[in-house]
Amino acid sequence: MNSQLLELIFLSEKRKNLILFLKDGPKSISEIKESLNVGLVAILPQLKKLRENSLVLKSGDVYSLSPLGIAVAGKMQPMIDVLTVFGSKYEYWANHAVESIPDPLRKRIGELANCTFSEPPDRTRLFEPHREFVENLRKSKKIKGIASIFHPLYPSLFLTFAKRGAEISILVTRPVYERTKMEYGTELSEFLKFENASFYVCDGKIELSYVVTDRFLSLTLPFSDGTFDHKEDVLCFDPVALQWGEDLFAYYKNISQRITEI
């Protein structure tokens, strides 16, 4: 989209909403007024501008998108989703390494449009897993997680979930695996015996950490300088974001080795 078209669409909330509303098909002026909760005085000038720029057609009191408008509308929602993700907490995204997300999933980052953020832990729990994170894990029946850092509480935590019958898959980097094997070999060996548990090791570069379950997605990105952020996680609960998380796990699983015994 050129700058003139972007300004036409995105500098007016009414015009943006009109195009997205008409994306579903022709609508009468009454339907437009009712659904968008606007009056004639407010909406008619916007419809006129969209018609003058060949985005909207008019037949009687019915309005519809032109072929050009249909093409534009098809590109709008992904852009709006991306702007929603970054705009919800711009300072966070600007200060974290978004590039650590693999390219195929980064191109779909708009699917995290409804994300929220975890509450930073208080000083007495600064290096413990987020309480909200652990509480959501306990309620989950399916768990997939990727760890690029070693946390001494995780081996026993995920072993506990496996014992409870949760379907759990863990994927770690080679350094995390080696330390887990050395310091928590007993727990890892027991974990590998469960049919509902699987463990993978990736020799590729992974800088992010995350968990996706049947309930939520928790994503931890490093700061732009590579420093691990142990205070704040991105949280998502809607189905689209959960599928994004499933696909992220599949991306790394395809380049990882499954470990069945130490």
Whether residues 117 and 245 fall in one domain: yes
b/e burial code for range 107-127 (CB count within 10 A of at least 16 → b): ebbbbbbebeebeebeeeeee
pLDDT confidence of residue 86: 86
User: How far is the C-alpha of 244 from the C-alpha of 212, rounded, in Å?
Assistant: 9
Please tell me the pTM assigned to this model: 0.77
Whether residues 40 and 102 fall in one domain: no
pLDDT confidence of residue 10: 76
Q: What does the pLDDT look like over 240-255, one tens digit per residue?
A: 999 999 999 999 999 9
How many domains does the chain fold into?
Answer: 2
CB 73 within 8 A of CB 65: yes
Long-range Cβ pairs for the range 180-184 (8 Å, 24+): 180/150, 180/155, 181/262, 183/152, 184/152, 184/155, 184/156
- Which residues span the domain enclosing 107? 91-259
Q: What does the pLDDT look like over 207-262, one tens digit per residue?
A: 999 999 999 999 999 999 999 888 888 999 999 999 999 999 999 999 999 999 88
DSSP H helices in 53-153: 67-88, 90-95, 103-106, 131-138
Q: Select from 80, 77, 117 the least CA-distant residue to 95.
A: 117
Whether residues 199 and 249 fall in one domain: yes
CB 27 within 8 A of CB 84: no
CB 136 within 8 A of CB 217: no
Q: Give the CATH number of the domain where residue 65 resides.
A: 1.10.10.10
